[in-house]
Amino acid sequence: MKDGNEYGKDCECQELIKQRARYKNAMIPDEYEDYNFKNFEIRESVHDLMLKKITEYLKTFPQKKPAEEIVRKNDEKLRIKGPSFGFIATYGEQRIKNIDDPQLRSEMKRQHNNYGVGKSHLTISAAKYLIKNGYRVQVISDPVFIQDLMTAKFNKDNGETYNSILSNITQYADFVVWDDLGKLKWTEPREDLYYQIFNELYKLGKPIIFSSNEDVETLSDKIGPAAASRLKGMCSGYLYPVEGKDQR
């Protein structure tokens, strides 16, 4: 009580309930349940670099998400907007697959490995950090999400399923965490879909935190040059090619 009036605020148990709901809505895959920043192991210099870059990136946003009622009153000032972030390969998976000589292909794969380096561990850890601090996050596994969208396009429900899937990232989420971007083979319909999604998130100012086993050029081959260009522009310098030993 203050000045003769009672002022209410959420108790810790209410905030915990909301946090659990955000975590459930984020759809983090079960295999990533134990991922967090504390148990990320630094075994070589690339791990130290990756951890520093993503923690620096997260500091560009308020540690705690402003309350919804405050955001509504100050819509443009406090709405969550900012750059996207990506870990990509130094030498893309598709580039290695295209090498005809088996011996050379094996050697390049060894020299430029980007599997098991910790990209997904860190991006999922970022998702959990944001959820804990009040942000709504949607985690996407690229092959599953794109296949679900393409299937939904052909549902005879007047686009209801398709729009529902899209709204989870364009309307619900403050951040989209996109795992394994560019995993699927290129098709023209998928290229159109990637650009549509990235462009919509760009217009809404919603950041994407993503990982990919492709490099800048091969990612463009997989998702289309327009989508790749849009995504690169959204990153505003927060795009990091990485490679190292497979820690799995």
* pLDDT tens digits for range 41-90: 999 999 999 999 999 999 999 988 876 644 455 554 445 678 999 999 99
Whole-number average pLDDT of the chain:
89
d(CA 64, CA 132) in angstroms, rounded, equals 9
Q: Any idea which residue has 């463009």 for tokens?
A: 220
**Mean pLDDT (whole number) for 153-169:** 89
Query: How high is the pLDDT of residue 153?
Result: 86
> Are the CB atoms for 108 and 91 separated by under 8 Å?
yes
Across 174-188, average pLDDT = 96
For the cut 80, the answer to whether the pLDDT of residue 168 exceeds it is yes
Q: 20-45: per-residue pLDDT in tens?
A: 888 888 889 999 999 999 999 999 99
Q: Residue 11 — φ and ψ, nearest 5°?
A: -80, 170
| CA nearest neighbour of 93 among 118, 114, 116, 122 | 114
- Taking the C-alpha atoms of residue 194 and residue 229, their distance in angstroms, rounded to an integer, is 11
pTM: 0.88
Residue with tokens 């795009």: 239
Judge contact between 171 and 63, C-beta under 8 A: no
101-125 pLDDT tens trace: 999 999 999 999 899 899 999 999 9
- Pairwise CA distance, residues 178 & 142, whole Å: 7
Q: What is the pLDDT of residue 70?
A: 46
Give the confidence band of 14 by pLDDT, cuts at 50, 70, 90.
confident
Higher pLDDT, 159 or 208: 208
Mean pLDDT value across residues 163-182: 93
pLDDT at 2: 46
How high is the pLDDT of residue 142? 95
Order of strands across the sheet that contains 175-179: 137-141, 175-179, 208-211, 85-89, 239-242
Q: Which domains does the chain have, with CATH numbers?
A: 60-242 (3.40.50.300)
Cβ-contact 226, 198 below 8 angstroms: no
